[in-house]
Structure 1
């Protein structure tokens, strides 16, 4: 059969990995990411999109798997699906910067569902979660930003492979089974960016679908269902079919596995909007604060941005000036700039129906212009530069070369805890907040994964 394929090499690595061999920094970062993920899931659980998701999955029956921040009891796959939607629904969840993949939103639901289904400990849960984070990031990195350019959502594609590794590992599969889960999930990995055209909700579904597909693939692999060996690198593999003619580096997926941990490049979001807008939010808020600016002083705001990022948050520009719904607003650079300059902040309160119709925000959005940024560090970082022209003729320039939350400018554990508390206090009482925080802090112990899942659910 020749040399091992990429999926087989990953299978061998994951099957041999132990929690005890993981670097302390990797485990600590994963625990911080889990705290952030659970917090944003709780915050999303009462939103209209969450209620519609519940109605959709309830058609398929009930089960015994708890759901984050919710009283629901679902099958393993439906719990993973709904958990992925909840973690990702506000677009406030973590992102691996270089790969542009929301890694936790599929890896955590898949690992959790498998761990509860197979009565694993939180130590086994954490190992699977971390491996899922790592493989999701590496698959996305191999594309060099190409998935976005081709119109695919990397979270739906790369996330499915990482989640498959997580699910198969936690389920107890051997190297062949973990390889097989990837080989099979390649036919299920999906997600297109057409939601950018009208603010549709499909993006919210992608990581949950990736997690549910991962559990399905792991189950079929465990039953010895053959999948294509070269699912990544083959003639009709992931990269050849999704990125024809584009330069990809599939060796990135397996290079230095276990020695270099890409998941450490996963950033926690400071703002509940598309990551491509974050440096601009910081830039506008910095100029506003340092100069004591009032919105009516500003006549023009020129934003320099990388073309790939601009395609997501700036095009078509006139449409982005008036987002059609709250989700559309999260992918609108003019709206984000307008909200930051007008209100001096960018929180979930800026993504409400009232904010969407705020004519003061609209007035600033109309003054936003877009141009290419030749010095952008995209996709390694999400850079921003603004030139703010004032009525008195002054021009104020501010550049954010690296977005906050990037591993070069990480949010501290205290920052992440503050974000967790802010999200949780919108929807939960203090005993619940402390119960969940203690459960996350105990991840990696001999405690049962079901106990963790129960602690992160709510009573009916």
Structure 2
């Protein structure tokens, strides 16, 4: 980097990169992985579409909203028949993609990236009547920016009580919306400056399993669209929104400011593709629980009969430990499905007892299973000094059995991590399995959606435009 480049603010550097980016600049293997990450997200939207949280969100955003400020529009909704105003569609799409906590995560950034980047790109591309190639490139851009903003926090947003998906996602969404809205590099930088005042998301939901986390990525997408609209009419925003005295990292990471890396926001743009490091989830629970679920399943196969376990000790880094292991007594008896997703003791116990971990293991019946709850009460938690967090999500389980045996297994790098990725074929299989669980998605619907997503941005007359893609991925295409 030249001395002149070092003098340019981080938002401006992102703006310059974003303004010039086209699909041709993105390596084909990255673009193809992007299509599969989108496929995963769309499948999750379909399987979420009739859940109670989806119905509630649709009611809050639809034409019969109690506020009277929302209403019908022309932006399609993933997996549902509604057509909403662009910002409302972005919120609902974010809820649908993220609502089951089964969506992808950039591991080192500790950020769900697709859940905000896709809704923002989709709403902005449909509104501006963009092509499928522009939609795909903008989605990749949103992932790249959100991941880098999360990386700048060096794994400490959670430690300060902020959900990085909400915080980092807002900046990615603003960049996407400004680019698709036709703004130049300065305008894209300004949109980032504006959205900095909207970037937030509290972790207090962890105390009782409240639904606020489900809203975070969609709200980030809406914030990005709003910031871009203000930038478009000449509204100003602070140029040092990341690195300034009262910028993102100084304010949001006051207890860990010295460990933050604001420079990560613009590092390696166009050279290192963070999308390729994004992990697809094998389980519908907080990503921090995954190494423990896999460890429990392996130990069970090695002879850890759950009926004979007398003690379970789980070692975890203290930052993710705050999320899934504190307060421990409450985590042992989750009060809702969402609460269970963020419980180390419960997910471990359910995996041991059921010898699997799927959506059924988060049901009311599972949460009331006496065997699961009894085993969850035997789980103790300790710090893990060998954890790879935040570079990977690590977990070590030790079980003591009634015959005196002690079995231990460490998952140093969680499955799905870029060094242990789910393949594109695995993603397709997950998508089809999720679509098979949807009452409104028969084989024809599944094939239609899969074709639209995997054909996105590819050359030829059959490549869908952004609107055609969005219509194909709704449950009632026009």
Q: Which category of TM-score, normalised to the shorter sequence, fits these structures? A: over 0.9
SS for the counterpart of 1:146 is coil
Question: Displacement, 1:281?
Answer: 0.4
Question: Displacement, 1:390?
Answer: 0.6
Q: Distance in 1 between the 2:410 and 2:175 partners?
A: 39
Given the two structures, how large is their TM-score scaled by the length of structure 1? 0.98
Deviations 1:157-215 (A, max 9, x none): 00000111111112221111111111111111110000000100000000000000111
Q: Corresponding residue for 2:450?
A: 437
| Native 8 Å contact 2:160 2:255 kept in 1 | no
Question: Displacement, 1:290?
Answer: 2.9
Q: Distance in 2 between the 1:456 and 1:16 partners?
A: 28
Deviations 1:380-420 (A, max 9, x none): 00001111111100000111110000001000111111111
Spell out the pairing of 1:185-200 with structure 2 (5 A cutoff).
185-200=195-210
Deviations 1:70-110 (A, max 9, x none): 01110000000000000000000000000100000000000
Q: Corresponding residue for 2:29?
A: 25
Q: Are residues 1:158 and 2:168 paired?
A: yes
1:324 to 324, 327, 335: 335
Q: Corresponding residue for 1:65?
A: 75
SS for the counterpart of 2:302 is helix
Question: Displacement, 1:245?
Answer: 4.7
SS for the counterpart of 2:33 is helix
Residue segments in structure 1 that go unaligned for 5+ positions in a row = none
Q: Distance in 1 between the 2:476 and 2:263 partners?
A: 47
Q: Are residues 1:275 and 2:292 paired?
A: no
Q: Distance in 2 between the 1:169 and 1:345 partners?
A: 44
Residue segments in structure 2 that go unaligned for 5+ positions in a row = none
Q: Distance in 1 between the 2:30 and 2:178 partners?
A: 20
Deviates more, 1:47-56 or 1:241-250: 241-250
Q: Corresponding residue for 1:86?
A: 96
Q: Corresponding residue for 1:454?
A: 471
Q: Corresponding residue for 1:171?
A: 181
Spell out the pairing of 1:311-460 with structure 2 (5 A cutoff).
311-427=322-438, 428-445=441-458, 446-459=463-476
SS for the counterpart of 2:137 is helix
Structure 1 runs (4+) greater than 6 angstroms displaced: none
Q: Are residues 1:250 and 2:254 paired?
A: no
| Native 8 Å contact 2:452 2:464 kept in 1 | no
Instruction: Give aligned pairs, total.
Output: 459
1:238 to 228, 248, 252: 248
Deviations 1:294-337 (A, max 9, x none): 31111111100000011000000000000011100000001101
Counterparts in 2 of 1:207 and 1:412: CA distance versus 1, 3 Å = same
Q: Distance in 1 between the 2:455 and 2:262 partners?
A: 36
SS for the counterpart of 2:158 is helix
2:54 to 50, 53, 59: 50
Deviates more, 1:275-284 or 1:167-176: 167-176
Question: Displacement, 1:459?
Answer: 2.4
